[in-house]
Structure 1
Amino acid sequence: SVFFIAFMPYALILLLYKSGLLSDLQMPKRKERLLPLLAVNLCVLTGFMFLFFINSGDVLKAVYLIYMVGLPGLSLITMFYKVSFHSSYVTMFSLTYMIIFGKWAIFTLLLIPLVGWSRVRLKRHTISQVLIGIILSGTVSLTVFSLNGYSFYRYFPPGLMWNIFHIITEHLKYSFPGKSINMLFFFMMFALVLYLNMLIFSEGSYLKKGETCFLKRNICLFR
Structure 2
Amino acid sequence: MTHSLPAPETAAASPLARLGTDGLEPKNWITAITLLTGWHADRLAGVGWGFVAALFCGIIPILFIKWGERRGHWGDRHIRRRQDRLLVIPGIMVSVAVCITLLLVCNAPNEVTALVAAMLASLVAVLAITTAWKVSVHTAVSSGAVVVATLMYGPWALAAYPLVALVGWSRVRLRDHTLAQVLVGTALGAVTAGCVFGLMR
TM-score normalised per structure 2: 0.69
1:85 aligns with 2:137: yes
Stretches of 4+ aligned residues off by more than 3 angstroms = none
How far apart in 2 are the matches of 1:30 and 1:140? 21
- How far did 1:26 drift? 2.7
Aligned partners of 2:66 and 2:76 also within 8 Å: no
Aligned partners of 2:93 and 2:123 also within 8 Å: yes
Tell me what 2:81 maps to. 29
Aligned partners of 2:135 and 2:181 also within 8 Å: yes
- How far did 1:82 drift? 0.7
Which secondary structure does the structure 2 equivalent of 1:33 belong to? helix
How far apart in 2 are the matches of 1:92 and 1:25? 20
Deviations 1:51-103 (A, max 9, x none): 11221101111111111111111022123211111101111111111111112
Tell me what 1:140 maps to. 192
How far apart in 2 are the matches of 1:9 and 1:104? 30
Tell me what 1:45 maps to. 97
Q: 1:103 to 1:33 in 2, by over 3 A?
A: closer
1:124 aligns with 2:185: no
Q: Equivalent of 1:6, from 58, 62, 86?
A: 58
Tell me what 1:64 maps to. 116
Which secondary structure does the structure 2 equivalent of 1:83 belong to? coil
- How far did 1:31 drift? 2.9
How far apart in 2 are the matches of 1:108 and 1:114? 10
Which secondary structure does the structure 2 equivalent of 1:38 belong to? helix
Q: Return the letter of the residue paired with 1:7.
A: I
Aligned partners of 2:68 and 2:74 also within 8 Å: yes
- How far did 1:48 drift? 0.9
Q: Percent identity?
A: 29
How far apart in 2 are the matches of 1:139 and 1:122? 26
- How far did 1:104 drift? 2.4
Q: 1:81 to 1:60 in 2, by over 3 A?
A: same
- How far did 1:4 drift? 0.8
Tell me what 1:95 maps to. 147
Q: Equivalent of 2:160, from 90, 100, 108?
A: 108
Aligned partners of 2:140 and 2:188 also within 8 Å: yes
- How far did 1:134 drift? 0.9
- How far did 1:141 drift? 2.0
- Range with bigger deviation, 32-41 or 60-69: 32-41
Aligned partners of 2:143 and 2:161 also within 8 Å: yes
How far apart in 2 are the matches of 1:23 and 1:145? 33
Q: 1:21 to 1:84 in 2, by over 3 A?
A: same
Give the helix-richer structure, 1 or 2: 2
Task: Work out the number of aligned pairs and report it.
Answer: 149
Q: 1:106 to 1:29 in 2, by over 3 A?
A: closer
Q: 1:32 to 1:62 in 2, by over 3 A?
A: same
Q: Return the letter of the residue paired with 1:35.
A: L
How far apart in 1 are the matches of 2:185 and 2:133? 11
Aligned partners of 2:137 and 2:185 also within 8 Å: yes
Q: Which has the larger radius of gyration?
A: 1
